[in-house]
Amino acid sequence: MLAHELRNPLAPIRAAAELLRIAKLDEARVQKTSEIIARQGGHMTSLIDDLLDVSRVTRGLVVMFQ
């Protein structure tokens, strides 16, 4: 389940990066494609931050309730 969630943002990132690499794009398309990469990168960052928080809690480094 976790691997699936982490892989989901990778497909649009890879597709957008490939589009930037191979296509002749106008400025508006470059902007939109860059926004896709930034947005999906943000999703991945959020997922990884959540995963790190869960790891800290399960290792007892953070106490949720007292």
Tell me if 66 is assigned to some domain. Answer: no
Tell me if 3 is assigned to some domain. Answer: yes
Tell me if 48 is assigned to some domain. Answer: no
Tell me if 26 is assigned to some domain. Answer: yes
Phi/psi at 16 (5° precision): -65, -40
pLDDT tier, 2 (very low <50, low <70, confident <90, very high otherwise): confident
Rounded to whole angstroms, the Cα distance separating 13 from 41 reads 8
What amino acid occupies position 15? A
pLDDT tens sequence across 5-33: 888 889 999 999 999 999 998 999 999 99
Rounded to whole angstroms, the Cα distance separating 5 from 63 reads 26
By residue range, what is the domain housing residue 25?
1-37
Tell me if 10 is assigned to some domain. Answer: yes
Overall number of domains in the chain: 1
Is the pTM above the cut of 0.85?
no
Rounded to whole angstroms, the Cα distance separating 12 from 20 reads 12
Tell me if 30 is assigned to some domain. Answer: yes
